[in-house]
Structure 1
């Protein structure tokens, strides 16, 4: 087995640098603030709903706040993946908006439904992120004032990219709650904690637990296990599917835990289904 190199990730006041080995690295993200992701080397693929957005070296992408994405990062052409994310804090955006000359805001802009927007290659965006790389390469922590200035530079870069960002960045309404059952059906195979699910669906942990009781008599943990077992049962009906493949595919980490839970639900071990196969 090839050993995967350790992930290197640094956070300086809302500016994140991530560096990964050649191997694919997957993360599930849904942060409460807007962000701009820039790829220095390698490649990033973002899954947003049914859409897959590829971001190559020198390109940037805007990700809307409270929107859940799956992000795959990997090296390319012999280079490791290196990317920087700039988080746009809501308080910074509020203060920016307060000082704006409102007469300069474009009129009649329709709110976009897009949650992920590829910015592509722009000189102002490239200049912003290239100015941040020395802080990570030399392990020199920027001051709070410098980090704040970089956030402002990021805001200006977005506003110069498209007028639609006036509507998006300065919309300070509270995030809406995502339908719990729909979210869980789409993501039950992922390795998510209860805190993750609460945050990704726009809830506090207490509100998530209270809302979940309205849709199931089971606890969230038991619901997830049952749903994974149901998916495993269907997969095991497929010719050629092996038990050791299925338990990982549906989100279990331990084969003995999977086998024990499967037998408790269905009355027989998962290997019983495959016994008649040659």
Structure 2
């Protein structure tokens, strides 16, 4: 039997990634670290953020704004396997782009869209851009870095032509806005994020994150996360009657023995005490 690993292929050139999932769906939860333009050739792409799911089908395109967590589901549909291209725009690339166009007539006072998942209308500029990259799904045909860079530039101009609001998202080079630390950690406690990543996604340097955290908690960030995970685990075990073998993964532990040991140290009894 063919393994799931043999049914999936992801490869990239520069900051453009080609993705196949042949006859199985693939679900992942991740932080979108760079602005990303996604085009679906076949299959279906589901993006969930804040309880809202956006469905992107074959021939459709979606923009994912950076510094947001989404749940992605890539799956086959109507007998066709998932096939898509993910074009990322790093900060350094966008700064270079901005300097090249800043002498042109830039829109003044445009506001960034509130949504971080924006499904785009079907327009010829975007469709022709991604169809021109179809040959590169054949891994024996390798494009040059210069070609891929031109495709990224074309992608930026295509977005700007779709909606002037993209100026505010793409060319915002200020530090990420500060968001409430506790709100972020309450929503993301179950994920495997380093302190550096949490600092970044709340709009802070690691030093300012630690400094701000001291103002709101007597615990260190690590101990706060541990306590949060154990409290949620206790509720799931005692009130929701869930199995310990399921709960430890749901709350962010990777190892059952580590979870059991931490649980007993915190509550004074093992997680199986009332089961």
- TM-score normalized by the length of structure 2: 0.85
What is the count of residue pairs matched by the alignment? 272
Which residue of 2 is the match for residue 24 of structure 1? 26
Which residue of 2 is the match for residue 123 of structure 1? 124
Q: Is 1:4 the equivalent of 2:7?
A: no
What are the superposed Cα offsets for residues 101-128 of structure 1, whole Å, 9 maximum, x if unpaired?
8664455544432222111433321221
Change (3 A) 1:81 1:243: same
Which residue of 1 is the match for residue 56 of structure 2? 55
Mapped to 2, the partners of 1:177 and 1:262 lie a distance apart of 33
Which residue of 2 is the match for residue 264 of structure 1? 265
Quote the RMSD (CA, aligned, Å): 2.6
**How far does residue 234 in structure 1 lie from its aligned partner after superposition?**
0.9
Change (3 A) 1:207 1:139: farther
Mapped to 2, the partners of 1:167 and 1:204 lie a distance apart of 23
> Which consecutive unaligned segments of at least 5 residues does structure 1 have?
none
> Which consecutive unaligned segments of at least 5 residues does structure 2 have?
none
Does the CA-based 8 Å contact 1:231-1:250 persist in structure 2?
yes
Which residue of 2 is the match for residue 38 of structure 1? 39
What are the superposed Cα offsets for residues 126-151 of structure 1, whole Å, 9 maximum, x if unpaired?
22122223224224332222122111
Does the CA-based 8 Å contact 2:40-2:56 persist in structure 1?
yes
**How far does residue 183 in structure 1 lie from its aligned partner after superposition?**
0.7
Q: How does 1:63-78 map to 2 (within 5 A)?
A: 63-78=64-79
**How far does residue 157 in structure 1 lie from its aligned partner after superposition?**
1.1
Change (3 A) 1:98 1:26: same
**How far does residue 53 in structure 1 lie from its aligned partner after superposition?**
1.5
What are the superposed Cα offsets for residues 156-190 of structure 1, whole Å, 9 maximum, x if unpaired?
21122122223333333222122221111001112
Q: Secondary structure at the match of 1:213?
A: helix
- TM-score normalized by the length of structure 1: 0.85
Mapped to 1, the partners of 2:129 and 2:233 lie a distance apart of 47
